[in-house]
Structure 1
């Protein structure tokens, strides 16, 4: 592992934001499944939608703060491929 004192903050932010992005995408998929199966009331659907939009906006702000692009959060797992689905 190559640690550079000049980029340690950005690298740590990249790792944390990658984990948060993975969780955000999983939550979004779960919410869509619950909407499709009719498990949620209209109020719950709206609250989840607003929450996910706010989280996505905040993620964009944090990426901008650390000079990261969305694709920077998609860690390459070698033979397993990328961590996050492409296009999300």
Structure 2
């Protein structure tokens, strides 16, 4: 048995609450799926992944535009597609009552996703 594990803590309730409050900032950005909020939690996860991919596509598109590897019609089509995707994301965030801040997951020691 590991001697560094706490198997029993006989501190006061206030001390326990204080320790739990210290943990709160690290878990606030995580998805907390329960039977009551599973739909919202799943929507948050899916929209977070879509938003991450959308941002990566935008960056890649800007690199291609800066590198002159796209024609004028391709640039226009790409811009229109990205605008439609952004509009749809705003619509979906509204449906699930999510904000941009909600889509930024905390990855623990790695920091925030976006």
When normalised by structure 2's length, the TM-score is 0.71
Unmatched segments (≥5 aa) in structure 1: none
Pick closer, same or farther for the CA change 1:3–1:31 going to 2, 3 Å: closer
Unmatched segments (≥5 aa) in structure 2: 1-30
1:65 is matched with which residue? 95
2:74 is matched with which residue? 44
When normalised by structure 1's length, the TM-score is 0.91
**Rg larger for:** 2
RMSD of aligned alpha carbons: 1.3
Count of residue pairs brought into register by the alignment: 84
Pick closer, same or farther for the CA change 1:3–1:73 going to 2, 3 Å: closer
Q: Could you report, residue by residue, the CA deviation over 1:4-39 in whole angstroms, capped at 9, with x for unpaired residues?
A: 212100000000000000000000000000000000
- Runs of 4 or more consecutive aligned structure 1 residues displaced over 3 Å after TM superposition: none
